[in-house]
Amino acid sequence: MTRVLAAGDHFVLNRLLIDALRHEIPDGLDITELTLPWPVEPFGRIAEVSEASGSEEAMIDALRGVEVCVTEMAPLTQKILDACPELRLFCISRGGPVNANIEAATRHGVAVTSAPGRNATATAEHTLAMILAATRRIPQTHADLASGVWRGDYYMYDNVGPELEGSTVGLIGYGAIGSRVARMLHGFGAEVVVFDPYVTPEVLGTSAEQVGLDELLSRSRIVTLHARVTPETTGMIGAAQLAAMPAGSVIVNCARGALLDYDAVCDALDSGHLFGAAFDVFPEEPIPAGSRLLSTPNIVMTPHLAGASKETAAKAARIVAGDVGRYLRGEPLAHCANPTTLSTSTA
């Protein structure tokens, strides 16, 4: 029997993880459970890893004698690895293994996998919803009506936003999410331009026009971010880039807060240069009291839930269960951050 820990939470439920494991590997698993507090309690930094939930102590207790762990938010730290020598596979049902110390895991011979693409459809749909909410002032007009105020001035020419049909929309990043957003925008009749140094013409096809960042900013009435955070992309959109966008534009970020200078966005909204902004991610989460984001007008915000759908949770469970099955059958893992660990053991 292979001992497995299902360390789910209140989104990727343990029953989803266990059902996916049983479907992939019908026999031979001894599964125990640990439920982590996310998202009832926000994730945060635990020792040397970020965006994690729970505690090192709880994980050490739950992982005793365990060979395989499937989770979404559990931390994998040096301390946990030192205390759990039987662990060999740690499967994270997220787009990337941010809550694992990959270097330490590699030293201990623990393979770490993730679930890229699990929330691509949900995030793309949310991005489109945010574009529409910002351009049509949906949250603001709803709040006014809910408080008993009927504001006809929203219909004044200077207060209305652009239609998607005929507008140029710029996508920064054209991976699993950006490409889906492009397809949805085509359904609205928008012209899509893309900045992504890593996308090939074969992948892009005829669905969008590939341009440089400066051209994208100067042409786009709506700009939406879909890049990963790297040293090159951190802070890539600041005051100069926002100023290069046409007056009355909208910027949307459902990717990562580190891509964007939020103070510069607030300045551009206060000056009237930007028509609106929509954010699902922020430089600090939760948003601290006193943040300009809470008082600057014409910002639509959601609390980092663009990827939240029932399908995302179920797909995440299936992806990690698939790699558990491959591991037990001796096959190459599909989404491993450190694949050499399966042929070496330095614990």
Residue 284 known to be catalytic? no
Which of 241, 226, 224 shows the shortest CA–CA distance to 164?
224
Residue 207 confidence (pLDDT): 78
The per-residue pLDDT for range 205-227, each reduced to its tens digit, is: 877 999 999 999 999 999 999 99
Which of 195, 187, 263 shows the shortest CA–CA distance to 224?
195
Residue 346 confidence (pLDDT): 38
Residue 206 confidence (pLDDT): 78
Q: Which residues of 171-189 are buried (b: 16+ CB within 10 A; e: fewer)?
A: bbbbbbbbbbbbebbeeee
Residue 10 known to be catalytic? no
Catalytic residue among 256, 318, 326, 335: 256
- CA dist., res. 105 & res. 101, Å (int): 6
Residue 333 confidence (pLDDT): 97
The per-residue pLDDT for range 87-103, each reduced to its tens digit, is: 999 999 999 999 999 99
Query: Does residue 19 sit in helix, strand or coil?
Result: helix
User: Is it the case that residue 61 has pLDDT exceeding 50?
Assistant: yes
| Torsions phi, psi for 56 (to 5 deg) | -60, -40
The residue ranges of DSSP E strands in 65-155, in sequence order, are 68-71, 89-92, 111-113
Residue 256 known to be catalytic? yes
Which of 211, 170, 8, 184 shows the shortest CA–CA distance to 94?
8
Residue 44 confidence (pLDDT): 92
Cβ–Cβ under 8 Å, residues 210 and 186 = no
Catalytic residue among 304, 318, 326, 335: 304
Q: What is the mean pLDDT of residues 311-327?
A: 98
Residue 211 confidence (pLDDT): 97
User: Is it the case that residue 169 has pLDDT exceeding 80?
Assistant: yes
Instruction: Tell me which CATH homologous superfamily contains domain 120-301.
Output: NAD(P)-binding Rossmann-like Domain (3.40.50.720)
The residue ranges of DSSP E strands in the chain, in sequence order, are 2-8, 29-35, 44-46, 49-52, 68-71, 89-92, 111-113, 168-172, 191-195, 209-210, 222-225, 249-253, 274-279, 299-301
Mean model confidence pLDDT for the chain: 96
- CA dist., res. 16 & res. 319, Å (int): 11
Is it true that 2-118+309-343 and 120-301 share their CATH fold? yes
Q: Give the confidence band of 343 by pLDDT, cuts at 50, 70, 90.
A: low
**Where along the chain do its domains lie?**
2-118+309-343, 120-301
Pairing relationship of beta strands 49-52 and 44-46 according to DSSP bridges: antiparallel
Catalytic residue among 136, 215, 285, 292: 285
Integer-rounded Cα Rg, in Å, for the chain is: 22
Q: What is the mean pLDDT of residues 188-206?
A: 92
Query: Does residue 37 sit in helix, strand or coil?
Result: coil
Q: Which CATH architecture group holds 2-118+309-343?
A: 3-Layer(aba) Sandwich (3.40)
Which of 217, 275, 273 shows the shortest CA–CA distance to 241?
217
User: Is it the case that residue 345 has pLDDT exceeding 60?
Assistant: no
